[in-house]
């Protein structure tokens, strides 16, 4: 196995150790980082870079970043999170982010998936055809 492959393999092993009941645990992440600092494995920078990418992906998979323009009730955020939880079959945490440039509507991002219904996106479609 190449040196890069070993670094990736170690990062994946460390990532698996960071999960508790299938979710990222901040305590376990802290323990993994302390272990890396104490033992300084070969290609530690590559290991940490890959580990960070895996952790960020996992966090994004379990969050619905809800970008919105205008007034939206707090219960709407919960309803969106519940709908996303049903869709993905896991608990999704809502993260509201105001975005006035959307003009009106919402954009929801869960991991790499984006769901959008905003005037801004509809204007973009119209611009593409003009």
Q: How far is CA 26 from CA 55, 59, 86, in A?
A: 10, 11, 25
DSSP string, 42-71: TTHHHHHHHHHHHHHHHHHHTEEEEEEES-
Q: How far is CA 39 from CA 17, 32, 36, in A?
A: 16, 11, 5
Number of domains the chain contains:
2
The model carries a pTM of 0.73
Q: Both 123 and 67 in a single domain?
A: yes
Name the domain boundary from 20, 42, 60. Answer: 60
> What is the extent of the structural domain holding 94?
62-129
Structure confidence at residue 22 (pLDDT) = 84
Q: Both 90 and 52 in a single domain?
A: no
Structure confidence at residue 2 (pLDDT) = 58
Q: Both 120 and 69 in a single domain?
A: yes
Q: Both 50 and 66 in a single domain?
A: no
Q: What is the mean pLDDT of each run of 10 residues along the chain (130 residues)?
A: 79 95 92 94 93 95 91 90 94 93 86 83 67
């Amino acid at each position: 196995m190449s040196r890069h492959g070993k670094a990736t393999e170690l990062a994946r092993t460390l990532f698996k150790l960071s999960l508790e009941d299938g979710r990222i645990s901040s305590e376990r992440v802290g323990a993994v980082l302390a272990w890396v600092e104490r033992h300084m494995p070969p290609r530690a920078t590559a290991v940490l870079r890959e580990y960070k990418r895996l952790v960020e992906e996992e966090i994004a998979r379990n969050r619905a970043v809800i970008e919105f323009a205008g007034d939206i009730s707090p219960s709407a955020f919960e309803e969106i999170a519940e709908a996303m939880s049903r869709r993905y079959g896991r608990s999704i945490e809502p993260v509201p982010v105001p975005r006035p440039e959307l003009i009106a509507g919402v954009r929801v991002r869960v991991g790499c998936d984006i769901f959008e219904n905003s005037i801004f996106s509809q204007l973009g479609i119209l611009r593409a055809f003009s």
